[in-house]
Chain A
Amino acid sequence: MPTKRQQILAAFQSRVENIRTANGYATDAGATVFAGERVLLGEGDPEIALAIVPGDDTPGHQGEHVVIRLPVEIQIIAKGDLDDDWLTVEAVLGDVKKAVEQADRTLGKLVLRQIERGATRTLPREEGSTNVGAGITYIAPYTELWGEP
C-alpha cells in the first residue's frame, strides 16, 4: 500500500500529465513529466518538460496523527520564443494551474481541507540561452498515523 505522501505526489503527477493541446491546454507540457529525480536535459531531448519536486515538509501537531505540510513544486523548463520568451513561461504556468487546480482540491480526500497555492518563481531567458523556466509550489496539508504513513 503506497504511503499517503506517495499518493499525493502521484496525484500531482497524474494531473499535470494531462496537459496536452488535445485536452484543451495551450501546450503539451504533460508529455514529459519527471518525478523523484534531478534531470539534466540536453540536445535532442524534449523542448518542454515538467518535474514534480517535493520540498522539505513541516511537521505540525503530533498526537495520534502527525499533521504535515508538504510543499510540492511543479518545475517547468521550456524552449522560449526569443522575442517573447515570457509568453512561453506564462502559457505553461497557466496550463499547470489549470491542470492542478481542479474542482477537487482534496486530491481525492488525501489532504486536509484542500491544497494551498504557494509561491511562483520564474527563470527568465539569459543571453546565449534558448530556455525559460518557472516553478509553482503547492502545499499539501495531510495527516499520517504513527507507524502507518
Chain B
Amino acid sequence: MDFGALRTLVRDLNFSAHGVPATVTPPGEAAVETRGIWLTPVTEQFGMDLRRSEPKRIMALKRDEVPSVPRGTLIVAPEQAGGADQTWRVEATDRLEADKRHVIVVPEP
C-alpha cells in the first residue's frame, strides 16, 4: 500500500500549522516562497575556560520546494510566527530526510 500521498499530506499540514513563511534564495538562483519550521534550538557552549552559550538555530525546509540549499543561501523569515522578518544565512545542512532538510543558520549581519 503506498502511503506517499498521506505522508506528503501530513508533512504539509505540519508546515502549515507549525511553520513560518520563508523566502529562500540560494546563491545565484531565484527566490522561492515556502514555509519553514524552526526546530528547538540546540544550546552549545563555545570557548575554553571563558565560554559563551549560544543557541544553534535550525530550520526545516521541504526538499521538493527548495531542492538545493547550499551554504550562503539567504532565508528571510520571522524568528517567531507573527514576528518581524529577519534575514538568516545558511551555514550547513544538519540533516537530510526523504522529504525535508534541516539547515543550520545564523543571523545575517
Contact = CB atoms under 8 A, between A and B. Distances in A.
B46 A126 contact: yes
A53 B49 CA distance: 8
A51 B52 CA distance: 12
Q: Is the interface of B mostly helix, strand, loop or mixed?
A: strand
Nearest to A76: B50
Interface stretch (A40-48, A59-67, A112-120): A40-48
A41 B51 contact: yes
Interface stretch (B3-11, B27-35, B75-83, B99-107): B99-107
B92 A128 contact: yes
Contacts of B48: 53, 73, 75, 123, 133, 135
A123 B48 CA distance: 9
A53 B105 contact: no
A42 B53 CA distance: 5
B92 A131 contact: no
B45 interface: yes
Interface residues of A, number: 27
Interface string B41-84: 00011111111111011100000000000000000000000000
A53 B56 CA distance: 27
A123 B46 contact: yes
Given A40-B45, A82-B109, A133-B46, A127 B92 contact: yes
Q: Is the interface of A mostly helix, strand, loop or mixed?
A: strand
B104 A127 contact: yes
Contacts of A129: 44, 46, 54, 56, 106
B85 interface: no
A81 interface: yes
Interface of B: 44-54, 56-58, 89, 91-92, 104-109
Interface of A: 34, 38-43, 45, 49-51, 53, 73, 75-77, 81-82, 123, 126-131, 133, 135
28 contacts: A34-B50, A38-B50, A38-B51, A39-B50, A39-B51, A40-B45, A42-B52, A42-B53, A43-B54, A45-B52, A75-B48, A75-B49, A77-B51, A77-B52, A82-B89, A82-B106, A82-B108, A123-B47, A123-B48, A128-B57, A128-B91, A128-B92, A128-B105, A129-B54, A129-B56, A130-B106, A131-B46, A133-B46
